[in-house]
């Protein structure tokens, strides 16, 4: 049987195509199996303090909420910071503004001090693990300090939320929760401050 150059080329193309399919299939199998060994924390090993992101550190240093007051905020108890941000919408009186400002100033001062303390303890914990300079006794002592500081920090934020409603009227509290997007009313009417209007309406099926 006569084998032409065209037949040889065609055969080579078929073989190469088959090899390519096998390679792609093998890569898919490898790719599918690889993620189960990959940590969801990958990349975080490059942080200065492994347990805290730059955003975490900035929030703690600024005395920001860091999500510590969710138990109050999401159950309808306003916090002083956001009340002051909405003072025009809430129509705060001069006396209310004075009281809320004093409350926020006190809370923020305590939160900044505790936040820096928390960062320092986390830094120490990370450093000791990195240097392999830690035992169970030191670990227990550091974790106790971290947990006590965290508790005090959370208390600082939550206690401010406990005090704030007593300075406001029921209508102001209702307005606050509506503006924050927590109201049982139509969430499409008011987009909470700090949220992207398009994304907010999309997530709440407003379109």
Per-residue pLDDT tens digits for 122-167: 999 999 999 999 999 999 999 999 999 999 999 999 999 999 999 9
Domain boundaries, the chain: 5-37, 48-168
- For 8, the token pair is 């040889």
Rg (CA), the chain: 28
pLDDT-based confidence at residue 182 (cuts at 50, 70, 90): confident
Cα 18 to Cα 20: distance, rounded to the nearest angstrom: 5
Confirm if 79 and 160 have CB atoms less than 8 A apart: yes
| Higher-scoring residue by pLDDT: 170, 13 | 170
CB distance 175 to 87 below 8 Å: no
Q: Rounded CA gap, 28 and 166, in Å? A: 61
pTM of the model as a whole:
0.72
Per-residue pLDDT tens digits for 62-103: 999 999 999 999 999 999 999 999 999 999 999 999 999 999
């Amino acid at each position: 049987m006569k084998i032409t150059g065209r037949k040889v080329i065609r055969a080579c193309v078929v073989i190469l195509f088959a090899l390519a399919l096998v390679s792609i299939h093998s890569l898919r199998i490898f790719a599918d199996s690889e993620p189960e060994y990959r940590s969801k924390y990958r990349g975080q090993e490059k942080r200065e303090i492994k347990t805290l992101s730059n955003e975490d550190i900035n929030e703690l240093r600024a005395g920001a909420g860091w999500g510590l007051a969710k138990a109050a905020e999401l159950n309808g108890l306003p916090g002083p910071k956001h009340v002051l941000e909405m003072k025009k919408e809430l129509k705060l009186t001069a006396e209310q503004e004075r009281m809320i400002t004093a409350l926020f100033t006190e809370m923020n001062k305590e939160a900044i001090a505790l936040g820096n303390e928390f960062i320092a303890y986390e830094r120490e914990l990370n450093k000791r693990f990195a240097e392999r300079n830690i035992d169970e006794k030191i670990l227990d002592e550091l974790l106790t300090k971290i947990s006590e500081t965290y508790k005090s920090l959370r208390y600082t934020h939550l206690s401010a939320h406990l005090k704030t409603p007593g300075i406001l009227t029921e209508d102001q509290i209702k307005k606050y929760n509506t503006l924050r997007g927590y109201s049982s009313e139509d969430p499409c009417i008011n987009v909470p401050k700090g949220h992207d209007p398009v994304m907010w309406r999309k997530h709440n099926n407003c379109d």
